[in-house]
Amino acid sequence: MEVLQSVLSLIITLGILVTIHEYGHFWVARRCGVKVLRFSVGFGKPIFSWYDKKGTEFAIASIPLGGYVKMLDEREGDVPSDQLHLAFNRQSVSKRIAIVAAGPIANFLFAIFAYWLMFILGFTVIAPVIGDVDDQSIAANAGVVSQQEIVAVDGNATNSWQSVNLGLLNRLGDTGKVELSLKGANQDSPTTIVININEWLSDQEMPNPIGEIGIHPYRPQIPPLIGVVSEGGSASAAGVQPGDRIVAVNGNAVDDWMDFVAVVRASAGATLTVELLRETAVVTVDLVPQEKAIAEGQVVGFIGAGVQQPQWPDHMMREVHYGPIDALTAALDKTWGDTVMTLSSIKKMIEGLISVKNLSGPITIARIANSTIQSGLETFLSFLALLSVSLGVLNLLPIPVLDGGHLLYYFVELIRGKPLSEKTQLFGLKVGISLVVMLMFVAFYNDLLRL
Mean pLDDT of the region 62-86 = 89
Per-residue confidence (pLDDT) for residue 8, from 0 to 100 = 84
Q: What's the pLDDT band for 181 if we cut at 50, 70, 90? A: very high
List, in sequence order, every residue forming a beta bridge with 132; answer none if it has no partner.
216
Q: Does the pLDDT of residue 449 top 70, yes or no?
A: no
Active site residue 22: yes
Burial of 167 (C-beta count, 10 Å sphere; 0-12/13-18/19+): buried
Stretch (H or E) spanning 120:
helix 93-121
Rounded distance between C-alpha atoms, residue 183 and residue 188, angstroms: 8
360/93: higher pLDDT: 93
Q: CA–CA distance from 49 to each of 38, 55, 189, 204 (Å)?
A: 10, 12, 62, 45
List, in sequence order, every residue forming a beta bridge with 153; answer none if it has no partner.
156, 180
27/223: higher pLDDT: 27
Nearest alpha carbon to residue 96 among 445, 410, 425: 410
Residues 6+ apart with CB under 8 A from 192: 179, 180, 181, 182
Rounded distance between C-alpha atoms, residue 376 and residue 396, angstroms: 31
CATH superfamily, region 226-310: PDZ domain (2.30.42.10)
* Percent over 90 (pLDDT), the chain: 39
Q: Is 101 helix (H, G, I), strand (E, B) or coil?
A: helix
4/41: higher pLDDT: 41
Per-residue confidence (pLDDT) for residue 424, from 0 to 100 = 87
* Percent over 70 (pLDDT), the chain: 93
Are 257 and 264 in contact, with CB atoms under 8 Å apart? no
Mean pLDDT of the region 427-434 = 85
Rounded distance between C-alpha atoms, residue 168 and residue 200, angstroms: 10
Mean pLDDT of the region 22-49 = 94
Rounded distance between C-alpha atoms, residue 330 and residue 121, angstroms: 13
H-type helices in 143-284, by residue range? Answer: 161-169, 209-212, 234-238, 257-265
Q: What's the pLDDT band for 296 if we cut at 50, 70, 90? A: low
Q: What's the pLDDT band for 374 if we cut at 50, 70, 90? A: low
Mean pLDDT of the region 414-421 = 88
Residue pLDDT, tens place only, 235-258: 889 899 999 999 999 999 998 888
Burial of 264 (C-beta count, 10 Å sphere; 0-12/13-18/19+): buried
226/446: higher pLDDT: 226
Q: Which fold has domain 124-220?
A: Pdz3 Domain (2.30.42)
> Per mean pLDDT, which of 34-38, 268-272, 317-321 is the most reliable?
34-38
Domain residue limits, the chain: 2-32+91-121+385-450, 124-220, 226-310
Residues 6+ apart with CB under 8 A from 191: 181, 182, 183
Q: What's the pLDDT band for 389 if we cut at 50, 70, 90? A: very high
This model's pTM is above 0.75: yes
Q: Does 226-310 match 124-220 at the fold level?
A: yes
Residues 6+ apart with CB under 8 A from 29: 36, 69, 71, 88, 99, 102
Are 69 and 59 in contact, with CB atoms under 8 Å apart? no
Kindly report the average pLDDT of the chain as a whole number.
Answer: 87
Mean pLDDT of the region 160-167 = 88
Q: Could you count the other beta carbons within 10 Å of the beta carbon of residue 10?
A: 21
Residue pLDDT, tens place only, 80-122: 988 999 999 999 999 999 999 999 999 999 999 999 999 999 9
Per-residue confidence (pLDDT) for residue 49, from 0 to 100 = 92
- Active-site residue (options: 22, 149, 275, 378): 22
Per-residue confidence (pLDDT) for residue 220, from 0 to 100 = 83
Per-residue confidence (pLDDT) for residue 450, from 0 to 100 = 61
Per-residue confidence (pLDDT) for residue 173, from 0 to 100 = 85
Residue pLDDT, tens place only, 142-158: 888 888 889 999 988 89
Are 166 and 358 in contact, with CB atoms under 8 Å apart? no
